[in-house]
Amino acid sequence: MPMNERRPLPVPPAHARILSVPENARCLDAVQLQNLEQSFRDWAEAPRSPGLGRSRRRILLIYLLIRYTGARLNEVLKLDPHRDIDDKAHSVFFLKAGTEAAPAGRDVQIPEVLSAEIRKTMEIEHTLRTRRGFFSIDPGHVRRKFYERAAACGIPRELGAPEVIRRSRAVELLQSNMPLPVVQKILGHSTPNLAASYVKFSEEDMHRAEAFFVDRENRRKTSARNEFFGKIETLRKGDVQAWVEISTPGGYRISAVITNHSLKRLGLKPGALVAAEVKAPWVTIHRSADDPECSADNVLCGTVERIVRGKVTSEIVARIADGTEICSIVTEQSLKKLDLRPAARVWVAFSAFTVVLHAD
């Protein structure tokens, strides 16, 4: 049964739930991940011998693959770059164990620049392909280098562990509002509790959603804080404007009203994948036990994640059940009236007229 956006939804636990780790488990933020990447690059570019340089470049690529795919260390070490990395589609295929006869696994999108870096490295190292595989390196050795690079850039050694990098990537994707089912697909987790959401989203749909977010991560050109990704479920065309209803992988319905001219220009039709953006000032916050009395077309139940106070306006970030964060900008006076605290249950609302659609 599809979720009704006005129906109370369960409060999601911490991000770490998708990785089955303790809720207090630590991870690295985007700045620390970038600093760690630079530490690896500086180290790889300053070898004492050509052979050492080749070894270091392979360790660097192992880090980059975990950092941008969220894969497990053992999955990366089993990769055959010639077979499993597609530099044209910019994707990595992780094969499930024991399925060589009938390949099964998952494709994960990677940034185009990383794809080009892997291709360039393989062109240099093409004569070094052995029976053991390009990434067949002792896992203990890899871990030691990860710990060393973390310490070299001021990060606690234990936070340089491959599983911490994997978890950090998951949190990074969730914080960018990538739909939870897509994140779970990237990480290779089964999602029985979200089976209903997958019914309407094919594997190709999920792949396109992943590609959309990876591409957006590389070149963000919008100032909108709130973004939803989904498939057009309903489209009703009027004399001047059209009503568009989007179904998200998390089971939500987002409504938008656009002009018929925009409908034609974007080439929208039922089943098309789109991104829906809403600017933070257009989102209102309601604190009530039940569905609030308001005229907004989109009303979602969530919990307050954090509050950033300002002298004139304040920022309220709420998280809905599928992990998506929604930001609202309110006046300081309104914030005082709401009397909000982190973890408080709230309703976030916005009109269909404030939703901007972007087609693939």
Over residues 340-352, mean pLDDT: 93
Average pLDDT over residues 324-352: 92
User: Using 50, 70 and 90 to split pLDDT, how confident is the model at 10?
Assistant: very low
Cβ 205 vs Cβ 273: under 8 Å: yes
Instruction: Label residue 235 by pLDDT band (50, 70, 90).
Output: very high
The CATH architecture to which 279-349 belongs is Beta Barrel (2.40)
Beta carbons of 11 and 321 less than 8 angstroms apart: yes
Tokens 């597609």 found at: 86
Instruction: Evaluate whether 186 touches 108 at the Cβ level (below 8 Å).
Output: yes
- Domain spans of the chain? 15-175, 279-349
Report residue 259 CA to chain centroid gap. Answer: 30
Going by C-alpha positions, the residue among 246, 346, 243 that lies closest to residue 302 is 346
Mean per-residue pLDDT of the chain: 81
In Å, how far are 81, 90, 163, 250 from 183, measured between CA atoms? Answer: 23, 17, 16, 11
Report the distance separating Cα 69 and Cα 187, nearest Å. Answer: 8
Is 266:249 a contact under the CB 8 Å cutoff?
A: no
**Cβ neighbours of residue 58 closer than 8 Å, sequence gap 6 or more:** 134, 135, 137
CA dist 62 → 37, 59, 80, 196 (Å): 11, 5, 12, 35
Rounded Cα distance, 307 and 140, in Å: 42
Secondary element (H or E) of residue 46 = none
Q: How confident is the model at residue 99 (pLDDT cuts 50, 70, 90)?
A: very low
Q: How large is the average pLDDT for residues 63-75?
A: 94
Residue 63's pLDDT is: 96
pLDDT of residue 102 exceeding 90: no
- Residue 213 to residue 182: CA distance in whole angstroms: 10
- pLDDT tens for 270-319 read 988 888 999 999 999 999 878 888 889 999 999 999 999 988 899 999 99
What is the Cα–Cα distance from 26 to 167, expressed in whole angstroms?
A: 9
Separation of alpha carbons 10 and 48, rounded Å: 56
d(CA 305, CA 348): 13
Q: At 293, is the secondary structure helix, strand, or coil?
A: coil
CB 264 within 8 A of CB 257: no
What's 208-256 look like in SS3? HHHHHHHHHHHCCCCCCCEEEEEEEEEEEECCCEEEEEEECCCCCEEEE
pLDDT tens-digit map of 165-201: 998 988 888 777 777 778 888 888 765 444 344 335 5
Phi, psi for 74 (deg, rounded to 5): -65, -30
Task: Find all residues with CB under 8 Å of 146, minimum gap 6, and list them.
Answer: 63, 160, 161, 162, 165
CATH architecture of 15-175: Orthogonal Bundle (1.10)
pLDDT at 236: 94
With a cut of 80, say whether residue 8 has pLDDT above it: no
Residue 222's pLDDT is: 52
Among 93-102, 130-139, 329-338, the range with the most confident prediction by mean pLDDT is 329-338
Average pLDDT estimate for 345-349: 94
